[in-house]
């Protein structure tokens, strides 16, 4: 029961060479695949770096928005931080516009990249959607804070009007005669 072993190495090498010639049209090694994979890696890196920067910028804008929220909710009648609120509102508006442009650019990078790997493409799409969602939430919060500020300004104006009309009324009426008698209320001196 002896088994005969046949050396089939030569057949294996010929089969591999034949398979290579069917996959690659030429017998020369294809440098394009190396270029394409390195180009794809560079595109992925560019997409990731841009996405990370947008994420950081959204966070910074949200921090500015938190400060604006605190200022906008202040209800002081005479110590209104209007200049600071106006400046922060302008800066946040500029940030939101720039972030929208950056997200558009990220979308173009994603489209140009058109990653061959479905998983990488899905990941890039998910990252883009997440950033868009975060930016949308920040923009909606900004609109809400501006609405609060508008309501507080109307309330402050009403309070100022009430205060100024009350003090104007007191000045026109003159002093209360009960205070002039020194007793203030009839408890003392007429009997």
Q: Which of 65, 67, 69, 112 is nearest to 93 (CA)?
A: 65
| Fold of domain 42-169 | Methane Monooxygenase Hydroxylase; Chain G, domain 1 (1.20.58)
Global confidence as pTM: 0.63
Residues sharing a CB contact under 8 Å with residue 45, sequence separation 6 or more, in sequence order: none
Q: List the single range of 20-34, 99-113, 148-162, 170-184 with lowest mean pLDDT.
A: 20-34
CA 62/CA 103 separation, integer angstroms: 16
CA distance 175 to 49: 72
Distance CA 143, CA 172 (A): 43
pLDDT score recorded for residue 186: 52
pLDDT digits (tens, 9 = 90+) for 75-105: 776 777 888 999 999 999 999 999 999 999 9
CA 163/CA 160 separation, integer angstroms: 5
pLDDT digits (tens, 9 = 90+) for 37-84: 777 788 888 899 999 999 999 999 999 999 999 988 887 767 778 889
């Amino acid at each position: 029961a002896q088994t005969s072993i046949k050396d089939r190495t030569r057949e294996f090498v010929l089969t591999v060479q034949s398979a290579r010639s069917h996959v690659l049209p030429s017998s020369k090694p294809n440098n394009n695949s190396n270029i394409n994979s390195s180009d794809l890696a560079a595109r992925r890196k560019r997409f990731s770096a841009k996405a990370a920067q947008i994420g950081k910028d959204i966070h910074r804008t949200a921090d500015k928005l938190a400060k604006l929220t605190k200022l906008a909710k202040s209800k002081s009648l005479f110590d209104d931080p209007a200049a600071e609120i106006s400046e922060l509102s302008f800066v946040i508006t500029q940030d939101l516009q720039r972030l929208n442009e950056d997200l558009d650019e990220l979308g173009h990078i994603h489209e140009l990249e058109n990653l061959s790997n479905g998983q990488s493409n899905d990941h890039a799409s998910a990252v883009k959607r997440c950033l868009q969602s975060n930016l949308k939430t920040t923009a909606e919060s900004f609109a809400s804070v501006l609405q609060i500020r508008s309501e507080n300004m109307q309330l402050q104006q009403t309070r100022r009007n009430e205060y100024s009309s009350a003090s104007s009324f007191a000045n026109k009426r003159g002093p209360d005669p009960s205070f002039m008698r020194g007793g203030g209320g009839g408890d003392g001196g007429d009997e």
